[in-house]
Structure 1
Amino acid sequence: MNNIWKNIKKFPLFIIGVFIGFFLTTIKPFFKLLKNKKKKILIPIIITTTFLVIYNILRLMLAIQ
């Protein structure tokens, strides 16, 4: 019975580790773009485009005008 509670206590740490790993894996390509001076302009463009697309999708889904 003691092993069950030890495993339950470890579960939140596992979930936090999964989320951190996901975000680090997702953000890593952006750091590679920062090394090249010509490609530094791409990061704000990608972020702006992403937010605009998400905003428009949500606006259309929720029928907000």
Structure 2
Amino acid sequence: MSDRYEYLPHRLLRRRVRDIASGVEGELMAVVNENVSSAGVERWMELAYIRAASGREFTTSVANVEPA
């Protein structure tokens, strides 16, 4: 199992975005190809890290990110 995470370019990096799943807005800080498996089988997913107004970051699928 590989622990290599890959930062990916995204057109909305450092811009204000909205997570359509939760409706929360914030700044897109990073997009990472990350292993999200909890078992022995690898499952890689592109996750967006968004910093909300509170200063806390949360993740969501890149497909859920839209400009705010």
Q: TM-score interval w.r.t. the shorter chain?
A: under 0.3
State the structure with bigger RCO (CA 8 A, min sep 6), 1 or 2: 2
Pick the structure with greater CA Rg. Answer: 1
TM value normalised by structure 2: 0.24
* Greater strand proportion: 2
